[in-house]
Amino acid sequence: MPSNRKPAPRKTRARSPSSRKPAFRLHRWVLAVVTVGAGLAVGSCSDALTDNGRELARFVQTVLTSDALRDQLDALFNSGAADYPIVRDQAPTATRQGTEPFAACPQFFAGRQSPVVVPQPSHRALCYNAFAILHSGQTKTPVFVAQKLNRRLVEDAGEKRTDRFFADARLPRSERAELEDYRKSGYARGHMAPAGDMPNPTAMAQSFSLANIIPQAGGHNSGAWAKVEQDTRHYALRARGDVYVITGPVYGPSRKTIGENRVAVPDHVFKLVYDETRQRAWAHWHANRDDATAGRPISYQELVKRTGIEFLPGVGL
């Protein structure tokens, strides 16, 4: 005779909330990585990543340690989207071995001729929206940074600072500085093409490329050198035509470095100013020290003598 008795309910072992949290967190991590992976796959077919997508990808990039994956993320971040710092169509990589390296951006140089520099295998030319850089893979800093200023460009400056420094993925990893090199180094990340000169959001973002940065004494960066940058803008604002500006570091025989990539610390910093209309040139020459003060500018000929670089070959000063 069938029994009407219901089977006893099967006992299950309840998990405490604390025992479930780690698994839940792990699932969230897996989901985040999968989401970023999917985003990268989509990004390889499209240049349009949302700001939130970039921020999530950047967060994961700092956590993951795979150099191969980090290089892929770098390439994606610097993919050339119109709203992102690197515009690849304007940014060829070249050396000075027998050709004009800045053929894609001659507008930043007086007479459309770039400075004459002794060729080095690690020299690479980088064109940006508002400046051009000859970069050294030995020092991991610029040899020089060239700009063109005038009244219209200075009036357009004043963009909100992004303060998002980044390593330029166009440079080989062995030839560039990384963000970690500057952390706790005791030096500021000093712009050569100043953020305050940038006339549009793209140029502002690009100015935070580490290719445009040197290890600079903090007091100098925010003090005497900041005044030189401001005075140069004021001069360009009053000038009747174009003013060409070339800025760069100078290194002594005993070279101090920072970080694992051995980024060189310059002894001096210079800024050459050339007024095309008046055909006048002068240079600011500062020691890279906290207590550095602004002295009298030096002549163009003196700057050439001290650096060994002919900065204005198309002018004939």
Summarised one tens digit per residue, pLDDT across range 175-191 is 999 999 999 999 999 99
Q: What is the pLDDT of residues 64-83, one digit of tens each?
A: 434 344 444 444 444 333 33
- Does the annotation count 191 as an active-site position? yes
Q: What is the pLDDT of residues 203-234, one digit of tens each?
A: 999 999 999 999 999 999 999 999 999 999 99
Q: What is the pLDDT of residue 51?
A: 52
**What is the residue extent of each domain of the chain?**
19-77, 88-307
Which position has the higher pLDDT, 179 or 4? 179
pLDDT mean over 249-259? 94
pLDDT for residue 61 is more than 80: no
- Which residue out of 123, 191, 284, 286 is catalytically annotated? 191
Q: Which of 48-62, 136-150, 299-313 has the lowest mean pLDDT?
A: 48-62
Which position has the higher pLDDT, 244 or 54? 244
pLDDT for residue 13 is more than 70: no
DSSP string, the chain: ----PPPPPPP--PPPHHHHHHHHHHHHHHHHHHHHHHHHHHHHH-S---HHHHHHHHHHHHH---HHHHHHHHHHHTS--TTSS--GGG------SSS-TTTT-GGGSGGG---B----TTEEEEE-SS-EEEEETTTTEEEEEEEEE-HHHHHH--PPP----B--TTS-GGGS--HHHHTTSS-EEEESS-GGG--SHHHHHHTTBGGGEEEE-HHHHHTHHHHHHHHHHHHHHH-SS-EEEEEEEE--SS-EEETTTTEEEPSEEEEEEEETTTTEEEEEEEESSTT----PPEEHHHHHHHH--BS-TTT--
Which position has the higher pLDDT, 61 or 130? 130
Q: How much of the chain exceeds pLDDT 90, in percent?
A: 63
Q: Which fold has domain 88-307?
A: Extracellular Endonuclease; Chain A (3.40.570)
Q: What is the pLDDT of residues 143-169, one digit of tens each?
A: 999 999 999 999 999 888 989 999 999
